[in-house]
A and B are shown apart, each in its own frame.
Chain A
């Protein structure tokens, strides 16, 4: 293996080699980071919300045009729920304040002790006078669901507060690491005004309405209450029989309209749509990054092929001389592959450094995640292989050079 002469010749003729190495370095740096981001976003979008069989769940927002006073609003809500339950194909209905992944809703600070200055965690705040555990198929891992006696209907104009709460496992771990949460007291807010509630159960998972990609996305609490008398309308979440969602939506809307003496404005949204909306931008970014990655590989490959072809053409005479001096075809092939390997390696080395630097920039300026070394390692392998594949064509052509070229005049 004639490494030293190849290296020495390369160093005397740096420009082309530097150009190729630079392309490899840039591509590797961008590729590694891009694929990492794609993986992160894909993983985020694949997270379960905690709701079982999401395709069967949808929500309806009902706005009544003449709502009357708080008591009338309460009666209307109860009636609407009953009307919906009576629709064939409806498995369960719950009046609720927000839907997971819907990107609109309530958050509360929660604390373990009212004397705390800072919150322990920010939590998404769900509340319903019906069993969300039942409608959404949430999995209880500790304690129990609310008892019928624990549900409260609270007039928004009064000071009544809930007394019980169900939290997610992630939130329970954050608040009371390593110990069961059931029976513990939790506080919404801190200080004297903080609302004290007792944990009656823990569910495995319920994402927040924003589904943040950090741990925060799994911190949710559920309170057994309904708030009425404020906003003249209500939001309901409904589970339909599997496969019947579309029909059930139509039937539920028709039933609500029929049952209301005054006009109602209805807006139905499936949980699938909320999910699609939440992750639309992430998936679009993923596709863009994948496209860019493919283009990166193609362009770098073309650069390698181009430069190698140029060198083969420029060194035709020299190759002929080598052949005349006894080089076999395989020797010429090996020369070019070795030369290319050295250039690619220089590029890979630069690419690793550049990739880390780029990631550092992304982490500090755009709050992205750190790049695991595996991406750079894998990427390096890809580019080494790409180099060998790309140079093979021109190298093969070079190897076919006739040794008689040496005796031809310039």
Chain B
């Protein structure tokens, strides 16, 4: 019966092309609008590291002075200070830890025909690569000793390595970074997590990946200025060394625990740490010390911006309108078929059969709307992606969203068809037949 009704549905669509076109178009537009905004939402809020996101944690302390503290005010810090990074690295908490900050450095290619250029990278400690599952194409992360003494070693991204060395293996070679010779110890494969969850403060949250990595100690040794944000809640001593000693926050820190269950333990550790620091005259506010896992951190940093949320809500309101419109059109379409229903009922169709027939017909409309809606959604996403390269990364349909488009379109059409279908079932055969 299903294929029979399906064929009937298709035939019925053909019978009144104008009405069909209007219905399918309206549904398609509604579906396209919702799907394109949902896709962007989905890409933006998708868990970038699902197998680990609940056991990677960011600690944030309120290091501002106590005198202008209003308890309960929103935490203004979004990074940690150098002092805290050093202390937490030594803490041994969790299975791994890393502290990092973003830097921009000029790189001088060994080839004389290429000019020097400014590259954007990050200076983490060694555990970074394992913690965030950074894939290596060649070589590996620097050694523990290099990490501790801040050796002049560098890991390049695949793109930069290709730009400087072509297809050759650059491991072991030297290039000038920030004017100093650095030895290349590894090349990472393509690694562009969206968003750049490990370093959400300072710089774009979506976009291209890091171009190079040097040890944190190395960047500090070279007094490399941060390429990100810094928040100083009180006056600090001048110069780079003064910044290191201060309560200015300009680095980001991550713990990795063995399981998500160890969160409570980690929380009590940082609470203890904070009270100890209080005894040393820091963290006088005694404000709550925060711990964020990956998804919480993304929410705290508002990765899904307000405008994206607005677009998503709007799209749904729009879909709702299209749905109500489709109900009206289906009502019109079915109501003129009262005679057909009367005859079918007289010939033995039960109410349930009529219901099934017309619901499937609605689903056929939904399928057609889904196909057109998908095409329109692709177009819409392409238009949206034109905005900037940052947006182009997330304005990208994946297989999940593709399947979702069809599902949503059919579901919407069936939902819209419920009332008209129910109405169609109420037709009394006798009346219809008499007035023939």
Contact = CB atoms under 8 A, between A and B. Distances in A.
On whether A and B touch (CB less than 8 Å), the answer reads: yes
A353 interface: no
- Interface majority SS (helix, strand, loop, mixed), chain B: helix
Nearest to B69: A117
Interface in A137-160: 155-159
A131 B65 CA distance: 35
B262 interface: no
Interface string A236-270: 00000000000000000000000000010101000
A280 B386 CA distance: 11
Contacts of A229: 239
Given A263-B108, A265-B118, A302-B325, A362 B65 contact: no
Contacts of B388: 280
Given A19-B327, A189-B235, A314-B335, A65 B310 contact: no
A350 to B, nearest CB: 12
Nearest to A189: B235
Contacts of B322: 299
Contacts of B309: 365-366
Interface string A150-177: 0000011111000000000000000000
B417 to A, nearest CB: 13
B106 A230 contact: no
A281 B387 contact: yes
B26 A267 contact: no
A63 B117 CA distance: 9
Contacts, number: 139
B234 interface: yes
User: Which of B29, B317, B321 gathers most chain A CB within 10 Å?
Assistant: B321
Given A307-B332, A309-B332, A230 B239 contact: yes
Contacts of A15: 331, 419, 423
Contacts of A368: 306, 310
Interface in A27-60: 27, 29-30, 34, 37
A206 B387 CA distance: 27
Given A30-B321, A63-B118, A231-B225, A189 B328 contact: no
Contacts of B310: 37, 285, 362, 366, 368
B380 to A, nearest CB: 9
B225 A280 contact: no
A318 to B, nearest CB: 15
**Chain B interface bracket (under 10, 10 to 19, 20 to 34, 35 or more):** 35 or more
A310 B225 CA distance: 71
B318 A295 contact: yes
B329 A306 contact: yes
Interface residues of A, number: 64
A267 B118 contact: yes
A307 to B, nearest CB: 5
A292 interface: yes
A302 B68 CA distance: 60
Contact of B435 (A19, A193, A410): A410
A37 to B, nearest CB: 8
Contact of B33 (A22, A285, A292, A358): A292
B320 interface: yes
B68 A230 contact: no
B384 interface: yes
A30 B311 CA distance: 11
Contact of B29 (A30, A281, A299, A365): A299
Contact of B321 (A27, A65, A306): A27
Given A117-B67, A190-B68, A23 B306 contact: no
Contacts of A189: 234-235
Nearest to B420: A15
A15 to B, nearest CB: 7
B116 interface: yes
* Nearest 9 CB-CB pairings of A with B: A157-B239, A193-B235, A310-B332, A117-B68, A231-B225, A19-B328, A303-B325, A26-B321, A366-B306
21 contacts: A15-B423, A16-B328, A26-B324, A30-B321, A155-B238, A157-B242, A159-B238, A191-B67, A265-B117, A280-B387, A295-B318, A299-B29, A299-B325, A302-B26, A303-B324, A313-B336, A361-B313, A362-B310, A365-B309, A366-B309, A368-B306
Interface of B: 22, 26, 29, 33, 65, 67-68, 70, 106, 108, 115-118, 176, 179, 225, 234-235, 237-240, 242, 305-307, 309-311, 313-314, 317-318, 320-322, 324-325, 327-329, 331-332, 335-336, 384, 387-388, 391, 419, 423, 435
Given A65-B108, A295-B29, 17 more contacts: A15-B419, A16-B331, A23-B321, A26-B317, A30-B321, A63-B106, A65-B176, A67-B179, A118-B68, A157-B239, A193-B234, A292-B33, A292-B318, A296-B318, A302-B22, A307-B328, A310-B332
